[in-house]
């Protein structure tokens, strides 16, 4: 690079752009694809895996294909949308890749039909390759935050942030799916579309059992409260306001309230993600809403008119990113007969923090007006120590006799969410989890474990007991299934660091490890497969975990594109996406020094869930709503 002394593509391109005023910079990265920087945004566009014969002319082909697409677009570079840019660079990557499969330079140039074919083939391959087997994913296009989680008349509803015209974030809609068991999901038509008030950002659903809203003619129905996002016509600045929609037919169709928006704070730019619940002691509805660096609480008798009752958080917890997606609920502490309130807050990506977007929680009291933190202001509790669990919220209106508080999160991270290599669809949810409170030496903390309904997917189990593992004699086992649930009880008193390696037939391996000296549970996905779509993806990270009587218990779920780890009955959770170069086919457990003992090791093969192919396809397990 001209006058630069750095091998960092992102840093170097930024310096070039600032130094010379270059509008668009593209750096080719051979088979890895390319990196671009244009008009205030940048990113990586993955390449294509081909059998290269002759690389002569690959760079010229890339540039020729890119110039062809630019000229065909017929607009200035600054007018190109991000989607157009990625489409152009994907086309150029494909052209450059195809050239290498033939001898020569000019005579090896592919036709546009050949380029289109490899792009479509690659999309289909990626769809099949990384489509999760038991995590919820969209039929197609983009998915992020779960919204409007509600249980109503025997059906669990999952709404989610959805862009139905792209596999990247864009104008938000509410996608919709339903289930009777939290495991098998049926895709439904889009529930909420953008309108004159803006795009449909995150929010919640509740059942208005007593028709306090007056919208159900003496009956009951579902109320959705959500954020409308647009720009203020006077200033051009982003604007976020709260609105309402209602459904009288169990969520099949929705009607926007004529009085929208119902809540507006003119001085707040970040003002979104309402989460509403009925507070019996106060006999009113409570709304928790985030405003950049704090939570605001509102009260209402009718779900349509709201008054501010309290604020929390400006100097509490982590402020590494903007606060988002609040949730507030009460849980019992073990079997003590006592309870505490839990406030969940997700925080957005901060470029200076390697963790990216993640979720914290607070333990305390709610007096009907505001939340009071039990812990010191600088005491931070994290929900998940992996990289890919964000914006989690819980289901409303689960029956009292059920007694569970069930949460689900978006299984991605804003650092690289728009760039994960999944093709025509992008985004998935974590497993639904039961939240509980337990009292420990350090205070009251959350535990989480996947819902028991997941066990119905088990189709076969292998068991081992009292297996000794040393550096010279690791435990190895071939895996005949790519979808697995693993239960491991490991005695670490006579050993050092223990590794559970899940390996593919290629070069990929994902390591779940425990270091007893540091008392540190970790995931290492630096060699997990495709990692080069973003520099922050390939990494090793974890959390402190104290063994119990010299033992650790791990409960692991392995999907085609993800691994979830729950340790010591859910005291620690780690959730990570992975994109292996080939299906996982063997597992290896090793000790760094000394000897560890697998007191028990159970490996359950799992069936894949059936997700109907879009709203028009007939499902084998149709959910009646």
The catalytic residues are 145
Which region, left, alpha or beta, applies to residue 550 given φ > 0 means left and ψ of -120 to 50 means alpha?
A: left
Q: Which residue has the tokens 């098998």?
A: 184
SS3 content of the chain, % helix, strand, coil (to 5): 15, 45, 45
Q: Which residue has the tokens 């991270």?
A: 413
Q: Which one, of 137, 45, 232, 208, lies nearest residue 612 by Cα?
A: 137
Helix (H, G, I), strand (E, B) or coil at 198: strand
Per DSSP, the residues of 368-394 read SS-EEESS-TT--EES--SSS-EEEEE
Beta strands in 154-290 (DSSP E): 155-163, 173-179, 186-192, 199-208, 221-231, 238-247, 255-256, 272-279, 284-290
End-to-end CA distance of the chain: 60
Q: Measured between alpha carbons, how far is 151 from 153 in angstroms, rounded to an integer?
A: 7
Question: Given the DSSP bridges, would you call strands 173-179 and 155-163 parallel, antiparallel or unpaired?
Answer: antiparallel
Q: Which residue has the tokens 């940048």?
A: 42
Tokens coding 515: 């270091």
Q: Which one, of 337, 298, 198, lies nearest residue 256 by Cα?
A: 198
Q: Measured between alpha carbons, how far is 210 from 220 in angstroms, rounded to an integer?
A: 6
- Cis, peptide link before residue 261, omega less than 30° from 0: yes
Tokens coding 226: 């959500």
Beta strands in 431-470 (DSSP E): 433-440, 443-450, 458-469
Q: Are 355 and 348 in contact (CB under 8 A)?
A: no
Tokens coding 514: 């425990």
Q: Which one, of 232, 235, 137, lies nearest residue 177 by Cα?
A: 137
Sequence-distant (6+) residues with CB within 8 A of 15 are 4, 6
No. of H helices and E strands in the chain?
4, 37
Q: Are 223 and 244 in contact (CB under 8 A)?
A: yes
CA geometry: angle 239, 242, 246, nearest 5 deg: 140
Q: Which one, of 584, 587, 350, 615, lies nearest residue 469 by Cα?
A: 587
Q: Measured between alpha carbons, how far is 482 from 28 in angstroms, rounded to an integer?
A: 34
Angle between helices 82-99 and 58-73 (to 10 degrees): 150
How many beta carbons lie within 10 A of that of residue 581, not counting itself?
15
Q: Are 591 and 496 in contact (CB under 8 A)?
A: yes
Burial group, residue 222, by CB count within 10 angstroms (0-12, 13-18, 19+)? buried
Q: Are 137 and 427 in contact (CB under 8 A)?
A: yes
């Amino acid at each position: 690079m001209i006058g630069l002394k750095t091998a960092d593509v992102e840093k170097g391109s930024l310096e070039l752009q600032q130094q010379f005023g270059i509008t668009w910079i593209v750096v080719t990265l051979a088979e890895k694809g390319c990196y671009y920087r244009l008009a205030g945004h940048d990113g990586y566009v993955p390449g294509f895996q081909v059998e290269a014969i002759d690389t002569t002319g690959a760079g010229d082909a890339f540039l020729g294909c890119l110039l062809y697409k630019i000229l065909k677009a017929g607009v200035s570079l600054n007018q190109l949308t991000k989607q157009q840019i990625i489409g152009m660079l994907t086309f150029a990557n494909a052209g450059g890749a195809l050239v290498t499969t033939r001898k020569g330079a000019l005579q090896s140039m592919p036709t546009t039909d050949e380029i289109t074919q490899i792009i479509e083939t690659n999309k289909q391959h990626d769809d099949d390759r990384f489509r999760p087997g038991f995590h919820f994913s969209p039929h197609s296009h983009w998915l992020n935050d779960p919204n409007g989680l509600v249980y109503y008349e025997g059906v669990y509803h999952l709404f989610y942030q959805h862009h139905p015209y792209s596999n990247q974030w864009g104008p938000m809609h509410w996608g919709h799916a339903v289930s009777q068991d939290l495991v098998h999901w049926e895709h439904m038509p889009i529930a909420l579309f953008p309108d004159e008030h803006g795009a449909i950002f995150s929010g919640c659903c509740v059942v208005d059992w007593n028709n306090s809203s007056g919208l159900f003619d003496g009956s009951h129905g579902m109320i959705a409260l959500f954020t409308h996002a647009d720009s203020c016509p006077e200033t051009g600045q982003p604007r976020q306001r709260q609105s309402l929609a209602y459904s009288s037919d169990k969520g099949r169709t929705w009607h926007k309230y004529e009085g929208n928006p119902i809540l507006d704070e003119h001085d707040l730019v970040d003002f979104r993600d309402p989460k509403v619940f009925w507070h019996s002691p106060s006999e009113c509805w409570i709304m928790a809403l985030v405003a950049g660096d704090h939570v605001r609480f509102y009260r209402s008798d009718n779900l349509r008119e709201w008054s501010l009752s309290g604020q929390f958080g400006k100097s509490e917890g982590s402020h590494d990113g903007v606060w988002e997606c609040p949730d507030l609920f009460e849980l019992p502490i073990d079997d003590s007969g006592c309870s505490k309130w839990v406030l969940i807050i997700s925080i957005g990506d901060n470029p200076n923090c390697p963790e990216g977007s993640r979720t914290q929680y607070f333990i305390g009291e709610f007096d009907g007006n505001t939340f009071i933190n039990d812990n010191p202001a600088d005491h931070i509790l994290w929900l998940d120590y992996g990289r890919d669990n964000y914006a989690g919220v819980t289901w409303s209106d689960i029956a009292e006799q059920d007694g569970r508080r069930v949460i689900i999160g978006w299984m991605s991270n804003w650092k690289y969410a728009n760039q994960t290599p999944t093709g025509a669809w992008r985004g998935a949810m974590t497993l639904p989890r039961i939240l509980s409170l337990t009292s420990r030496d350090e205070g009251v903390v959350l535990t989480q474990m996947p819902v028991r309904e997941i066990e119905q997917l088990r189709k076969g189990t292998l068991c081992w007991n009292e297996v000794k593992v040393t550096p010279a004699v690791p435990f190895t086992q071939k895996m005949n299934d790519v979808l697995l649930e693993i239960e491991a009880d490991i005695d670490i008193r006579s050993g050092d660091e223990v590794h559970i390696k899940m390996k593919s037939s290629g070069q990929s391996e994902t390591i779940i490890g425990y270091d007893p000296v540091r008392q540190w549970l970790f995931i290492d996905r630096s060699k997990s497969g495709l990692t080069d779509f973003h520099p922050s993806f390939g990494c090793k990270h974890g959390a402190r975990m104290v063994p119990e009587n010299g033992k650790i218990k791990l409960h692991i779920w392995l999907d085609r594109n993800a691994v979830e780890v729950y340790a010591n009955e859910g005291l620690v959770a780690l959730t990570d996406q992975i994109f292996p170069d080939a299906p996982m086919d063997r597992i290896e457990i090793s000790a760094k020094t000394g000897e560890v003992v697998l007191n028990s090791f159970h490996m359950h093969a799992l069936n894949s869930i059936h997700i109907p192919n879009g709203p028009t396809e007939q499902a084998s397990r149709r959910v009646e709503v």
